Amino acid sequence: MKMDSILKRKNSVLLVFLIVVCTIPLFVKNTYALKVINNVMIYSIIALSINLIVGFSGQLDFGRSAFAGIGGYFSAIMMSRLGVPFIISFIGGGLFACLLGLLLGMLCRYSSFDYLTLITIGFSEIVRLILQNWIKVTGGAFGFVAERPKLFGYTFATHQSMFYFNFVLLILCYIVIRRITRSKMGRAFMALRDDPIAAAYAGIDVAKYKMINFAVASFFTGIAGAALVHYTMFASPTNYTIDESLIMLQMPILGGLGSLPGSIVGTVILTVLPEISRSFYNFRLLFMGALMVILMLFAPNGLFGVNGIRDQIMAYVKLRKGEKKE
């Protein structure tokens, strides 16, 4: 009975939260604020996909911006140049990124941690150079102009309508990734992270699950990349650099590796804080670097990770309650 009441309470809180979020466009009329919120939701999907690789399977990947670019360019080109319906080009962007993620996973399946880092950095740079130099297809350094999403004759032309599109997309991706992490596949990923040798002795095909992990995460990154390109209506090779991959990687690390809510919290912080500190542009990078250093010193597992700041606060509260009872 107690467990049922806890679940009901959690579901009620979740329902209230969703209702409150859905009313944001009704009250927030500032275009700039809505742009930031939309960016938070799209980058949250990327952070979730990175957490699937780094947090749940223990593989370090510096090529996430490349997969975002692959999904974004593929969807935009299919829709704008070939006249493919949005939903097909959008999902196609995710599937194409998934296919390339699978191929990269095949190359990396026997690679150690250090070599995996170098391979993903090299892959990211190769993709950027292709996007920059394949001018006839991608537009080169001038970029590629994309269209807004169109579903059942409706065009998501405003920031408010894009808010609901991105919000639904984030919820769907979160649910699917959460189910993956709690499935047999997710347990295999975590076994790879904790001890690959022990996982192999337990009968888990390490190479196979490494490939699957890369492919699944790349699908979600590609979907997010497509959403970002259709939202901003523009794609440029300069948006898919190693620097961008590093920023993306910081989001789940800040929130807590292995924590899906932490990925979203980390994204909110690293997306909103730079916007707030725009007036201190010269010191912005210094501030963000100092934040990461402090976090690594006092909470190396992030805000929501195991033994992260949240767990430390909860442990302190329980300790104080125990002292009061005595």
Strands (E), 18-86: none
Are residues 49 and 178 in contact, defined by beta-carbon separation less than 8 angstroms?
Answer: no
- 3-class SS at 150? strand
CA distance 307 to 257: 11
- What is the per-residue pLDDT for 316? 45
User: What digits encode the pLDDT tens for the residues 94-150?
Assistant: 999 999 999 988 888 777 767 888 888 999 999 999 999 999 988 888 889 899 998
pTM of the model: 0.88
Which residue reads 């080009």 in tokens?
A: 89
CA distance 162 to 174: 18
Residues ≥6 apart with Cβ < 8 Å to 222: 67, 68, 70, 71, 72, 74, 93, 94, 95, 96, 97, 98, 101
Q: Residue 7 is encoded by which pair of tokens?
A: 């679940």
pLDDT band at 4 (very low <50, low <70, confident <90, very high): low
Domains of the chain by start residue, with CATH: 31-284 (1.10.3470)
Of 203 and 278, which is predicted with more confidence?
203
Q: Which contiguous run of DSSP H or E holds residue 160? A: helix 159-181
Give yes or no for residue 44 having a pLDDT over 50.
Answer: yes
pLDDT band at 270 (very low <50, low <70, confident <90, very high): confident
**Mean predicted lDDT score pLDDT of the chain:** 84
- β-pair partners for 155: 150
User: What digits encode the pLDDT tens for the residues 223-264?
Assistant: 999 999 999 999 999 999 888 888 899 889 888 888 888 889
